[in-house]
């Protein structure tokens, strides 16, 4: 009888532990008032991401991104090109997976795939602006494209 009760108590404790481990709290990113103001701005200046030498180009038309890039983002040179390339590769993969799953992810947020080949040197400027767009996007729309928090 005692063995049966101990098994039930042990089972209940294990179940509780399993439930608690599955409901881990999500980490959130603190957003400053200045950043919130940029997110709600109607500044519609487009950002061209291009490298004259390699002839690669991305045009981002996202209200507030240009202002965010100029005022909130880390300055050019803060990250190494190697860091940016590694992060962009991971973020592009996750982005493209979401584009292909419109029933699961908001198709208004994830509209077009990004053609990013890790074997091509796109240059620092392209990688810097693409990476910062991913950070901006994740922070503005409360998304998570990778295993790390989108910090600035």
Categorize the per-residue pLDDT at 26 as very low, low, confident or very high, splitting at 50, 70 and 90.
low
Q: Would residue 20 count as lying in a domain? A: no
Q: Would residue 87 count as lying in a domain? A: yes
Q: Would residue 2 count as lying in a domain? A: no
Q: Would residue 148 count as lying in a domain? A: no
pLDDT at 17 over 70: no
Q: Would residue 66 count as lying in a domain? A: yes
**Rounded percentage of the chain residues whose pLDDT exceeds 70:** 76
Phi and psi at 48, nearest 5°, equal: -95, 125
Q: What are the pLDDT digits (tens) for 90-126?
A: 999 999 999 999 999 999 999 999 999 999 999 999 9
Q: Would residue 8 count as lying in a domain? A: no
Q: Would residue 13 count as lying in a domain? A: no
Residue 83: which domain range?
Answer: 30-141
pTM, two decimals, is 0.76
Q: Would residue 61 count as lying in a domain? A: yes
Average pLDDT of the segment spanning 63-88 = 94
- Number of domains the chain contains: 1
Neighbours of 149 (CB within 10 A): 14
Helices 124-141 + 81-99 axis angle, to 10: 50
């Amino acid at each position: 009888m005692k063995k049966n009760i101990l098994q039930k108590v042990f089972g209940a404790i294990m179940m509780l532990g399993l439930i608690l481990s599955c409901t881990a709290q999500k980490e959130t990113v603190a957003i400053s008032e200045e950043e919130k103001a940029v997110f709600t701005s109607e500044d519609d200046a487009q950002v061209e991401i291009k490298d004259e030498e390699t002839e690669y180009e991305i045009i981002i038309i996202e209200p507030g991104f240009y202002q965010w890039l100029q005022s909130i983002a880390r300055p050019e040179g803060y990250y190494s090109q190697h860091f940016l390339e590694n992060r962009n590769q991971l973020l592009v993969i996750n982005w493209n997976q979401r584009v292909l799953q419109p029933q699961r992810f908001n198709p208004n947020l994830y509209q077009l795939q990004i053609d990013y080949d890790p074997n091509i040197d796109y240059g620092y400027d392209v990688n810097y602006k693409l990476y910062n767009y991913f950070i901006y996007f994740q922070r503005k729309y409360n998304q998570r494209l990778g295993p790390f928090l989108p910090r600035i």
